[in-house]
C-alpha cells in the first residue's frame, strides 16, 4: 500500500507545489496521475520516489516513509539521467551493479525486442529511444512501486501502446504498483484502474476509474433546463458548458432517473477529467476501501 497523509511540498518560502494531499493506493494498482501543467504531478511523483522530502505530512510504502524504502521504488523523471558515454550494455551492467535483484537478462531482451542493441551508445539514441532505455532500467529493478513521469511525451503511438502493454504485464506478473503521470488520457484509460487528479497543487479526484466512469453522466439539453445550480434533479453538477440554446453538463449521478428534457450520455475517463478540471472547487476523494474495491 502506498499512502499519503497531509502531504505537502513548498518551494521557497511561499509557493506550494502540492498541499494537503491524502490518498491510499493498494498494491497492484496502475494509477493515472493527471492534471493541468503546473498542477503538482511531478512534485507528487518526486515525493513518492523519496527524491524530495515533504514540507509537511508523510508518504509511506507499506507503513515505511518512502525515503527509507528507496530500494523498493523505481522512478523515471522527465529528464532521463542516463550516461551518454555508456553503451546500452554498459548501462544495463551499471543497473545491475547498483540495484540488488536487477533483471539484467530481461532488460536486455526487452530492449532487443524494441530494436535497441546492446552496443548502441546512449548519446547516439533518439530522445524516444532513451526514454525506452530509462523505462526498461526502471522495470528491470523489479521494484514494488514504479513511478513514471510523462513517459509517453516523446514516444510514438506504437511505442506508447507497447509501453502500456508492458506495464500491464509487469503488474500482472509482479503485483507492483505503477503511477504514471501523463496528458495522454486515451492511452491511460486503456491501462490504468485508478485516478489521481491534481488541480492547482491539490488532489481533486482520487478513485477507481471504473467507479468514476459509471457514477458520472454527461447531460445535454436545452439551456433553459439548467438553471445554473449545483444540482439537476438529484444529480450533483460537476461542471457545465452553456450556449444560448444548449447546456452540456457533467453530473455525478445519484439514481437512474433523469428529466426527459435531457439526453443522457455515458462518459469516458477524458470526460471525467475535463469536467473536474473545469471546476476546481469540486472534489471527489475516495477512501482507501473505495480505491481498493
Ligand atoms: N524546483 C522547483 N522550484 C520552485 N517551484 C517549483 C519547482 N518544481 C515545481 N515547482 C512549482 O510547483 C508547481 C507544481 O509543479 P509540477 O512540476 O509538480 O507540476 P506538473 O503538474 O508536473 O506540471 P507539468 O504538467 O507542466 O509537468 C508549479 O507551480 C511549479 O512552478
Per-residue pLDDT reduced to its tens digit, 21-72:
999 999 999 999 999 999 999 999 999 999 999 999 999 999 999 999 999 9
Q: Which of 9, 37, 39, 154 to mutate to test the pocket of ligand 1 (most atoms within 8 A of CB)?
A: 39
Supply 134's cell numbers: 530509462
Task: Specify the pLDDT at position 48.
Answer: 98
Task: Specify the pLDDT at position 285.
Answer: 67
DSSP string, 9-38: EEETTTEEEEEEEEEEE-TT-EEEEE-STT
Q: Region 73-78: what's the mean pLDDT? A: 94
How remote is the CA of residue 255 from the centroid of ligand 1, in Å?
39
**Residue minimizing CA distance to atom 7 of ligand 1:** 11
For the ranges 45-54, 73-82, 139-148, which has the lowest average pLDDT? 73-82
Q: Where are the domains of the chain?
A: 2-206, 215-292
Supply 59's cell numbers: 508518504
The phi and psi torsions of 96 (rounded to 5 degrees) equal -70, -40
**Residue minimizing CA distance to atom 3 of ligand 1:** 11
**Residue minimizing CA distance to atom 20 of ligand 1:** 38
Q: Which of the two residues, 84 and 288, has the higher pLDDT score?
A: 84
- Percentage of the chain beyond pLDDT 90 is 81
Q: How confident is the model at residue 288 (pLDDT cuts 50, 70, 90)?
A: very low
How remote is the CA of residue 214 from the centroid of ligand 1, in Å?
32
Task: Specify the pLDDT at position 202.
Answer: 92
Q: Region 74-84: what's the mean pLDDT? A: 89
Looking at the predicted structure, is the pLDDT value of residue 168 above 50? yes
CA distance 33 to 38: 13
Outline where 153-229 has alpha helix (H). 157-174, 185-191, 209-214
**Residue minimizing CA distance to atom 13 of ligand 1:** 17
Q: Which residues line ligand 1 (CB under 6 A)?
A: 11, 15, 17, 35, 37-43, 198
Q: Which atom of ligand 1 is nearest to the CA of 45?
A: 18
How remote is the CA of residue 41 from the centroid of ligand 1, in Å?
8
CATH architecture for residues 2-206:
3-Layer(aba) Sandwich (3.40)
Q: How confident is the model at residue 290 (pLDDT cuts 50, 70, 90)?
A: low
In this structure, the chain runs to a length of: 293
How remote is the CA of residue 45 from the centroid of ligand 1, in Å?
11
Looking at the predicted structure, is the pLDDT value of residue 291 above 60? no
Amino acid at each position: 500500500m502506498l499512502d499519503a497523509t497531509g502531504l505537502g511540498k513548498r518551494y521557497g518560502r511561499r509557493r506550494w507545489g502540492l498541499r494537503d494531499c491524502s490518498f491510499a493506493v493498494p498494491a497492484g494498482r496502475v494509477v493515472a496521475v493527471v492534471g493541468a501543467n503546473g498542477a503538482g504531478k511531478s512534485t507528487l511523483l518526486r515525493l513518492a520516489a523519496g527524491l524530495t522530502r515533504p514540507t509537511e505530512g508523510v508518504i509511506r510504502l507499506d507503513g515505511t516513509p518512502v525515503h527509507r524504502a528507496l530500494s523498493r521504488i523505481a522512478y523515471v523523471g522527465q529528464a532521463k539521467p542516463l550516461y551518454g558515454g555508456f553503451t546500452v550494455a554498459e548501462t544495463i551492467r551499471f543497473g545491475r551493479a547498483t540495484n540488488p535483484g536487477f533483471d539484467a537478462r530481461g532488460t536486455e531482451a526487452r530492449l532487443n525486442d524494441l530494436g535497441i542493441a546492446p552496443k548502441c551508445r546512449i548519446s547516439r539514441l533518439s530522445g524516444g529511444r532513451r526514454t525506452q532505455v530509462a523505462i526498461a532500467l526502471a522495470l528491470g529493478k523489479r521494484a514494488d512501486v514504479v513511478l513514471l513521469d510523462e513517459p509517453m511525451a516523446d514516444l510514438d503511438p506504437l511505442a506508447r501502446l507497447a509501453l502500456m502493454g508492458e506495464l500491464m504485464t509487469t503488474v500482472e506478473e509482479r503485483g507492483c504498483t505503477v503511477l504514471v503521470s501523463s496528458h495522454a488520457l486515451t492511452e491511460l484509460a486503456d491501462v490504468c484502474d485508478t485516478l489521481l487528479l491534481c488541480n492547482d497543487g491539490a488532489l481533486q479526484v482520487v478513485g477507481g476509474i471504473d467507479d468514476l466512469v459509471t457514477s458520472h453522466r454527461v447531460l445535454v439539453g436545452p439551456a433553459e433546463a439548467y438553471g445554473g445550480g449545483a444540482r439537476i434533479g438529484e444529480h450533483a453538477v460537476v461542471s457545465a458548458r452553456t450556449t444560448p440554446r444548449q447546456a452540456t453538463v457533467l453530473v455525478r449521478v445519484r439514481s437512474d432517473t433523469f428529466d426527459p428534457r435531457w439526453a443522457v450520455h455515458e462518459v469516458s475517463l477524458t470526460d471525467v477529467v475535463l469536467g473536474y478540471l473545469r471546476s476546481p472547487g469540486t472534489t471527489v476523494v475516495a477512501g482507501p476501501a473505495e480505491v481498493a474495491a
